[in-house]
A and B are shown apart, each in its own frame.
Chain A
């Protein structure tokens, strides 16, 4: 019986980049390059199965064992604390978790700070470490408009180049957590496929050394 290594890749440009790193590591799957809408691809020769999933779902697939390994952003790992191994920083998909606000924002510590974010847990622990009283407004997208419309004082979000913030007249108040893509593995499956996973980890490590 084939002992496939199941890999959850994040849909999108980052996932494509990651696939090429896996290919270089000795786990190619030519079918994945075909232009179609399939989500699962296998290469029986090297016993690997790739599947595309929503980036924020990669950690769930890995934690629940549907995928043996996957690539997820550090932001997702910090937000959801999945019970997985974090084997390697791939040093790609780099950005920062940051606090941003309108250019004239001044933190008045005598009042509760309203924070709009997709990353509720990250925002909570960041402000808890400062003993700052906050109210969280959980949003699922277009976070940048929250301070402009007076919905919140600040936002906590991912900042890559800062262009979106600038275009919405916001500034970065503080970058507090560097983010990048991480190779993660299911804790139980790691025990039974450690050779394959270690082979990938080693090769990806060598590749990241050159980034």
Chain B
């Protein structure tokens, strides 16, 4: 066991492990300031996980914000690289509102972004790294993959209103089959189209089971080319040795104004929410005046303590209550015990809350 294993918390260990994986695949660490101009977030509010942002006025009068997100800063601070691709990873604190307490929380986020010429190899590599990242957190993990080209293609085929599409999006997120049927019926769709919409909600599972079902739909070229891309990337993942616990799931949906193509979420057993989220966000790049394509993901490490039971270890091996003993005597004893590999605490009076294997009480002259 590494000597730091005993000292580092589970999220700190995960950060080091993730950084090392990303480095192995040619990603460079990206560091950034804690603050950004608020304007960046005001223009892209819907892209943020939580809308609330901590703001303050800088010395020059500019309205600044503590970063609620990292991706926007990376896009803003990098230029188009055209035929090249910029591959970066980060580990940064972000500041978001916690749903439970409804107050701001500092969250350690690790993630990576590819900006530039994003091709199917890079998409495969990012999915591979997403899966490996989940493996760092727990062996029991699942990566759910969706393709917005298929979702958008089906919605286009159904020919429903913008309001109807928004409602179907909500129902997809909830796997709410009845909800989808109700929306379709209120849009006046026939039974054949309702069945197709229902399919999008109910189809779920391993690619080898789901993809043939999707292929049967054969609705449009748009959907066909998205399915082909899905097939190629999933097939390529197998070359990397990844073919288990990857599911196709269209309940993974994201705002079409920002995202396109592949999107995905990662789950581990024991944490009740997604611990990883990512996808292609070419539409966000366009919104920010960029020509490059982009894909990336973030790993949320704030829930990792749920995976281990609260520690009931003793605080120290030896507790020393030194009362009025001489300074040299106390120092010599602490030095001897620590050098012998013991965990030690020394206080003139020990509080009752300290737990220890052995207690040494020192007194003047003893």
Contacts and interface: CB of A to CB of B under 8 A. Distances in A.
Interface of A: 63-65, 83-89, 185-189, 191-192, 194
B175 interface: yes
Contacts, number: 48
Interface string B245-270: 00100010000000000000001110
B174 A86 contact: yes
Contacts of B179: 86
B284 to A, nearest CB: 23
5 contacts: A65-B272, A65-B273, A87-B175, A188-B273, A192-B140
Interface SS of A by simple majority: mixed
Given A86-B174, A86-B176, A187-B274, 6 more contacts: A65-B271, A83-B273, A84-B174, A191-B267, A192-B267, A194-B204
B100 to A, nearest CB: 9
A60 B205 CA distance: 26
Contacts of A88: 177-178
Contacts of B251: 85, 187
Contacts of A89: 178
A60 to B, nearest CB: 10
Which has the most chain B C-beta neighbours within 10 Å: A87, A185, A187?
A187
Contact of B274 (A188, A192, A194): A188
Contacts of B183: none
B142 interface: yes
B292 interface: no
A86 B175 contact: yes
B271 to A, nearest CB: 6
A-B CB proximity, top 10 nearest: A65-B272, A191-B142, A86-B174, A85-B175, A188-B267, A86-B176, A89-B178, A192-B269, A191-B267, A188-B272
B276 to A, nearest CB: 11
Contacts of B175: 85-87, 185
Contacts of A194: 204-205
B144 interface: yes
Interface in B208-253: 247, 251
A207 B218 CA distance: 33
A189 B174 contact: no
A130 to B, nearest CB: 16
A64 B187 CA distance: 35
A84 B142 CA distance: 17
A168 B344 CA distance: 71
A70 to B, nearest CB: 13
Nearest to B178: A89
